[in-house]
A and B are shown apart, each in its own frame.
Chain A
Amino acid sequence: MLKKIIYFVVVIAIVVGAVISYKQLDFGNKTAIFFKIAFGDQAQMMQMGPKGGPFPGGSTQGEFKPPQGFEGRKRGEFGPGRGEFGKNGGPGFQGPPGGKGMRGKPGMGKTISFAKVIPYFFILAFFILATRVIDLTVRRVKK
């Protein structure tokens, strides 16, 4: 009985973990990209943003949309620029926190962590579990 409860808890944990990981990793969209590259328009892929979706209008490409509160104004007409905030005008942009030496280094700002493997582990465990369930079902049906 205890063994059955443990199995049940493990299965639930894997399924819930896999669903959360699926959303966290954007698994569906990332797997679909390969098929878009292989069978779709490569030029369209070149315009994709870093997270897989095309840049929204107003940020980099397409129709320009002014930010909230500035509707009706043209590009560049948004009042005072950086460095004019606060009583004394403010210091403006001081550069990245790590100093000039950190600029342009690969992976700047990213941290190395074992925790990053966990979502992949759940996805993998889910596929192992799903295959096992299908395999056992097929074997039972055959018998």
Chain B
Amino acid sequence: MKKVTFKFILNIFLFITFLFLMDEWSFLGITFHEIAGLVICLFYILHKALNWKFIKETTLRMFGKCTARGRINYILDLLILIGFTLIIISGMGIAKTMDFSWLGFTKENFIIWRFMHTSISMITLMFVGIHVGLHWNWVVARFKKSGADQEGASC
């Protein structure tokens, strides 16, 4: 399988799973929500690893010669990364089927974690929408199986 095809399948998988994770009772219930929430984190890291070329190039050029689009993409990606990290951390704080007390999460701050989890999920959903919108040409090209993989050429 070509790297670009694998990337496309992974992205579709991430997109659908993220959508199903938005409501804890939307697919197979709370157990699925919590396990899949942790698993998606690993796939998200894989998604970043596959786009490492773009990350590396844009980071190096961020303060130098870089297009506005490249900068927006980079900042947006960074916000999504922060969003996912906070979703996972707050999710551990409110987990019902798994115990994360060994990481120092207590029930005292349950409400704060709960509100943070819901709120950041909504904000990240918004960012993911913008992210997909900015990469729409790539998505269409993949569906038509045409065009080169230009993910790394944004900057």
Contact = CB atoms under 8 A, between A and B. Distances in A.
Interface of A: 25, 27, 30-34, 37, 42, 45-46, 48, 52, 106-107, 110-114, 116-117, 120-121, 123-132, 135
Contacts of B22: 117, 120
Contacts of B120: 34
Interface residues of B, number: 31
A67 to B, nearest CB: 27
Contacts of B20: 117
A95 to B, nearest CB: 23
Contacts of B26: 112-114, 116-117
Interface in B12-54: 19-20, 22-30
A126 B136 CA distance: 13
Contact of B129 (A42, A46, A131): A131
Contacts of B123: 31, 34
Nearest to B127: A127
Given A30-B122, A45-B111, A123-B126, A128 B25 contact: no
B116 interface: yes
A108 to B, nearest CB: 11
Nearest to B134: A131
Q: Closest 8 A-B residue pairs measured CB to CB?
A: A127-B129, A131-B133, A34-B119, A116-B26, A116-B23, A120-B22, A33-B119, A128-B133
B116 A34 contact: yes
Contacts of A125: 129
A42 B112 contact: yes
A116 B96 CA distance: 20
A123 B125 contact: yes
B29 A30 contact: no
Contacts of B30: 106-107
A37 B119 contact: yes
A124 B119 contact: no
B24 A107 contact: yes
B129 A128 contact: yes
Given A34-B116, A48-B115, A106-B97, 12 more contacts: A31-B119, A33-B118, A107-B25, A114-B27, A117-B26, A120-B23, A123-B125, A124-B129, A127-B125, A127-B129, A128-B136, A131-B136
B19 A37 contact: no
Contacts of A116: 23, 25-26
